[in-house]
Structure 1
Amino acid sequence: MSNDLLPQNDSPIFCRVSINNDEKWVHGIITYISFDKNMAEVFLSAKYFKNYFNEGSKIVIKSLDENSETLFTGSVSRKVISIRKQAITIQINKVLGYNNQRKYERFGVDYSCRIRYEENISYIASISDISLGGGLIYSDDLFEEGKEVDIDVFVTSKISISFTGRIIRRIANKNGGYSYGVQLIDIDDENYSLLFDLIEYLQTQKKHITKEWDIFNKLKYSLYTISILGIFVLIFVVFASKAL
């Protein structure tokens, strides 16, 4: 596998992480990756370490930059949370990379939705990611590719977002049902405003992991500095006492 899929550099790479095919994706930062060694390290929020991640868990990671998207699967070989490190180590077993042709960034969600397929006929489904350009919907029902459908996304018990989409991709799932890639083709001003506000909110959630990463590094380097200063002070005290 070529290293060109996700070049290593000093800057952390934002990613999304799913454990054991969970539809819930959590945000992380890839701090190290080597396709030659089939190994990666991912910084994650401390709140996920206790129960969410276990050594041996199967893992899927998606990373996205301006030009390409990389997806790789593997297993958690180690998890460490300490002053020096807050990350999981991943043994990589499969890598896929392809050009990024999406106009809008996608965000992982877990909302119920309704698909209005024909007049007076509707189906309950779920949406697992969403963007200003559409989303990915799971349903047990079979719909035609190319078909235009009306979709209501239930964000909360009081807020829903409605739009018209076109089914551009259908994939049969191993556990039954189908995954549908839906392109947004029509939305009114009120619903677009709701969708835009939702995307802004999801964007702030993405920024939380970056903020935690910055705080963690500042704390870590501060402790390093204090430790080094402590060693110098100790050495000075020892030599000063001997000189006296």
Structure 2
Amino acid sequence: MKKEIRLEKIIPEYSTIEIKQKDQNVWVKSIVLNVHGKFIEVKQIEQFLSSAVMAGDTLQCMVIDEKNIYLMDSTVYNIKLITGSIVLEVHDLKTLANERKHKRYNALLSATFHEAGKLKEYYSVVLNISLSGLCIITNCELKQGDIIEVSINNPDTTLIYLQCVVKWSVDQGQKKLYGLSIEDIDEKNKFLLTDLIDKLEMFEKNQIKQLMESKPEYIF
């Protein structure tokens, strides 16, 4: 018998939740307005409108706290125009131990990498990053344990150079997601990475503040 989902025990109201459509790679943030049983009510955001999210659509959700990462598959149950919110019905919940040393921040940064000892470079996009790791998407084949040299295009300054090891991979059709752990970084690049993380943290704080303060927009 499938265990009953009681989300109010793990997801506090007015916490942040990350959501994406199943065929997308980028998570977007929203605010949890209400939680009851297997239902979550979240704030309507611009990305839901631009993607024309409708009742019955499938969305993936993620909530992270200090100890756990909660991954949820959900269906859009209802869209409330007056309150500017969307009600999601969660039908699958996975709980993973949060083993990350540092908080990850969403980012869309171009990057290249090459395997240690090889010259050929491959293009990738950094989807999220922290002081100890990052997630990239690329069409290159890598194996768990591979050591790669990564160059990240930092829009505000010079390239950031890292040596990383591949920890995991997930197929995304013709592309793959790779989780990388930063194994070696010199002081100069550590300073550049720290500065980038500080800016991403500030951007996220401002984004959450705007979400908390914004009122629903009505379109007639």
Cα distance, 1:147–1:198 mapped onto 2, change above 3 Å: same
What one-letter code is carried by the residue in structure 2 that aligns with 1:125? S
What one-letter code is carried by the residue in structure 1 that aligns with 2:169? R
Aligned match of 1:14? 16
- Could you tell me how far apart the structure 2 residues matched to 1:103 and 1:2 are? 31
- Could you tell me how far apart the structure 1 residues matched to 2:178 and 2:25 are? 14
Aligned match of 1:179? 177
8 Å CA contact 1:21–1:59 kept in 2: the answer is: no
* Cα shift at 1:2: 5.1
8 Å CA contact 2:114–2:121 kept in 1: the answer is: yes
2:73 aligned with 1:73? yes
8 Å CA contact 1:27–1:206 kept in 2: the answer is: no
Unmatched segments (≥5 aa) in structure 1 = 220-244
Aligned match of 2:26? 24
Q: CA RMSD in A?
A: 2.6
Cα distance, 1:175–1:6 mapped onto 2, change above 3 Å: farther
What one-letter code is carried by the residue in structure 2 that aligns with 1:167? V
Cα distance, 1:204–1:21 mapped onto 2, change above 3 Å: farther
What one-letter code is carried by the residue in structure 2 that aligns with 1:61? C
Q: How many residues align?
A: 212
Q: Which has the higher contact order (CA 8 A, sep 6+)?
A: 2
Cα distance, 1:3–1:75 mapped onto 2, change above 3 Å: closer
Question: What's the CA shift string for 1:220-244, capped at 9, x where partnerless?
Answer: xxxxxxxxxxxxxxxxxxxxxxxxx
2:197 to 196, 199, 211: 199
Aligned match of 1:145? 144
* Cα shift at 1:146: 1.3
What pairs with 1:67-106 in structure 2 (closer than 5 Å)? 67-82=67-82, 85-106=83-104
What one-letter code is carried by the residue in structure 1 that aligns with 2:71? L
What pairs with 1:1-244 in structure 2 (closer than 5 Å)? 1=3, 3=5, 7=9, 11-34=13-36, 36=37, 38-45=38-45, 47-55=46-54, 56-82=56-82, 85-117=83-115, 118-156=117-155, 159-171=158-170, 173-216=171-214
SS at match of 2:9: coil
* Cα shift at 1:155: 3.3
- Could you tell me how far apart the structure 2 residues matched to 1:163 and 1:9 are? 35
8 Å CA contact 1:167–1:180 kept in 2: the answer is: yes
The alignment's TM-score, normalised by the length of structure 1, stands at 0.75
- Could you tell me how far apart the structure 2 residues matched to 1:174 and 1:99 are? 23
SS at match of 1:50: helix
* Cα shift at 1:73: 1.3
SS at match of 2:196: helix
8 Å CA contact 1:75–1:90 kept in 2: the answer is: yes
SS at match of 1:48: helix
- Could you tell me how far apart the structure 1 residues matched to 2:28 and 2:164 are? 26
- Could you tell me how far apart the structure 1 residues matched to 2:65 and 2:77 are? 26
- Could you tell me how far apart the structure 1 residues matched to 2:202 and 2:102 are? 16
- Could you tell me how far apart the structure 2 residues matched to 1:131 and 1:170 are? 18
